[in-house]
């Protein structure tokens, strides 16, 4: 296999976990060049001390990449880009990437959301983009230090419908060598939307009520609101010919019930901590936009979106 340049952009919970695993394997086999892109204190910490992952999966908690960049413009000839940023930074990151990618650069966005592929495609129309979703219980403990607990992170990704003939064998080999639990699907949209229907409905309802995942499951009014939002998402998916299981709503509540009852959602935490950048548009905005495009009613999503905005003027 030829040497490839693999770049991880963003070293939060997701980028820190998967970036660590890729670079740790590469420190041993020295097959590729691995670079990290981070900002501010994270950049300084990783540049000076390496990236730390506190995880039962790795006895050696520190890894040092071949390069650490503070600016995307410093990236040279990337072959694979793992985009692990907050959704509200996505367009800005893509605009910067447009000046550094090559025609053969493969983009792997490791982000929540049903519309991530479409948003990247609008700005970077010619590259291979692998639609994906991830499951990992990891978070930033300190800048440059990521903590992971529970099961191994899971990466599900699919081929790019616009570039089906692109050879992904070397990308799969990188995942295997990095001991990443992954699954390649011909079409990953069902997996992406199956996650989205959960995180969007529970995120919006918990943000409105400043409640937990457990409360959304057990309090009748909140459960009803979440169900209504899920029904709207399910209808949109059907119009887009994206398969969701007939009992997907029941399955979502069953999955949610496995979380500790007091577990918060990231949108709830961000909204009620006063942040002016949140995932509100990623969830409600995407549902409403897709609803208009597919002529599907999104009355309940629109209502809760407006209620959250009205109650939190910083948004």
Tens-place pLDDT, residues 138-149? 989 999 999 998
At 57-81, the pLDDT tens digits run 999 999 999 999 999 999 999 999 9
pLDDT tens digits, residue range 99-131? 999 999 999 999 989 999 999 999 999 999 999
Per DSSP, what are the bridge partners of residue 128?
106
* 312 DSSP β-pair partners: none
Instruction: Decide if 90 contacts 62 (C-beta within 8 A).
Output: no
Strand 181-185 and strand 154-158: the pairing is parallel
Structural domains in the chain, CATH included, are 5-186 (3.40.50.720), 190-311 (1.10.1040.10)
pLDDT in tens, 237-258: 999 999 999 999 999 999 999 9
pLDDT tens, residue by residue, 260-311: 899 999 899 999 988 888 999 999 999 999 999 999 999 999 999 999 999 9
What one-character-per-residue DSSP string does 254-315 give?
A: HHHTTS-TT---HHHHHHHTT-SS-SHIIIIIHHHHHHHHHT---HHHHHHHHHHHHH-TT-
CA pseudo-torsion sign 95, 313, 282, 84: positive
Return mean pLDDT, the chain: 95
Look up the pTM and report it: 0.92
């Amino acid at each position: 296999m030829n040497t490839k340049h693999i770049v991880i952009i963003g070293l939060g919970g997701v980028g820190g976990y998967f970036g660590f695993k890729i670079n740790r394997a590469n420190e041993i086999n020295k097959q590729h060049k691995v670079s990290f892109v981070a900002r501010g204190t994270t950049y300084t910490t990783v540049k000076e001390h390496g990236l730390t992952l506190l995880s039962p999966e790795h006895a050696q908690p520190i890894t040092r990449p071949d390069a650490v960049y503070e600016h995307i413009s410093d990236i040279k000839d990337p072959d694979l880009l793992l985009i692990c940023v907050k959704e509200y930074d996505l367009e800005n990151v893509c605009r910067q990437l447009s000046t550094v990618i090559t025609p053969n650069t493969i983009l792997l966005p490791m982000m929540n959301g049903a519309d991530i592929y479409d948003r990247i495609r609008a700005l970077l129309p010619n590259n291979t983009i692998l639609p994906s979703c991830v499951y990992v219980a990891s978070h930033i403990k300190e800048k440059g230090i990521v903590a992971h607990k529970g099961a191994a992170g899971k990466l599900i990704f699919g081929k790019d419908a616009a570039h089906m003939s692109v050879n992904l064998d070397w990308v799969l080999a990188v995942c295997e060598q990095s001991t990443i639990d992954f699954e390649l699907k011909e079409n990953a949209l069902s997996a992406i939307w199956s996650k989205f229907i959960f995180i969007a409905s529970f995120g919006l309802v918990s943000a409105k009520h400043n409640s937990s995942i457990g409360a959304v499951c057990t309090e009748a009014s909140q459960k009803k609101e979440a169900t209504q939002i899920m029904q709207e998402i399910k209808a949109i998916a059907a119009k887009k010919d994206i398969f969701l299981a007939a009992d997907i709503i029941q399955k979502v509540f069953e999955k949610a019930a496995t979380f500790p009852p007091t577990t918060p959602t990231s949108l709830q935490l961000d909204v009620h901590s006063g942040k002016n950048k949140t995932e509100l548009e990623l969830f409600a905005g995407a549902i409403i936009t897709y609803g208009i495009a597919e002529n599907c009613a999104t009355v309940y999503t629109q209502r809760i979106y407006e209620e959250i905005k009205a109650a939190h003027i910083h948004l």
